[in-house]
Structure 1
Amino acid sequence: MARETTQEAFAAAWTDGALVVDVREADEYAAGHVPGARLMPLRSVLARCDELPADRPVYVICASGNRSRTAADWMNSRGIDAYSVADGTGAWVRNGGPVVAGPHEHAA
């Protein structure tokens, strides 16, 4: 079962430059995502796990926490130190976290 991190712990890690992977679909990502988040739709995670580092934590986020738990499980099974972000981007926005729109990664 995937390890989950709280919104507060995620916010602290993000502030410190954590690697964030957004597993939503491209249109969801473009509508608004955590600054710096890398888009990796859930359907592509297994094929793309080799793009992720094994030497630092990866924070996986989706809309509400369901897809991110699945993705984090898959990543963990491949030796990646992955954590699902509880309650996802929805909670990030509700908690006042910054969001950027567009199809590309944006630095914080």
Structure 2
Amino acid sequence: MYISVPMSQVQDEIKAQKLDLIDVREADEFKQGHVPSAQNLPLSQLIERSKELDTEKTYYIMCQMGGRSASACDFLDDQGFKVVNIEDGFAAWRGD
């Protein structure tokens, strides 16, 4: 089971690059703007690329507004990964 948190709760840690952050938006969305420390792993590629992730880490998953990240968290949690959903996503980001 994973938890969901608002961006405001983790924003300072993200800015300090203390979290493993994955943005599951598609590459074209990511290119239009993203959190600087985020790794882009599109939801459409998640099944095949999930083997790139480490089951020992906790990943913070985001998308634009929280829907796709919740789907990604459902899948990753079922695969044994430790994940946290950023429920309001990039739309709530207040940074560069």
Percent identity reads 33
Sort the Cα spacing of 1:9 and 1:56 in 2 relative to 1 into closer, same or farther, 3 A. farther
* TM-score (structure 2 length as normaliser): 0.88
Which residue matches 1:20?
A: 21
- SS of residue matched to 1:36: coil
Moved over 2 A (4+): none
Gap regions ≥5 residues in structure 2: none
- Give me the CA root mean square deviation: 1.5
Which residue matches 2:10?
A: 10
* TM-score (structure 1 length as normaliser): 0.79
- SS of residue matched to 1:28: helix
- SS of residue matched to 2:91: helix
Which residue matches 1:72?
A: 73
CA deviation map 1:27-81 (0-9, x unaligned): 1100000112111111111111111111121011100000000001111111110
Gap regions ≥5 residues in structure 1: 99-108
Which residue matches 2:37?
A: 36
Deviates more, 1:79-88 or 1:3-12: 3-12
Aligned residues: 95
- SS of residue matched to 2:60: strand
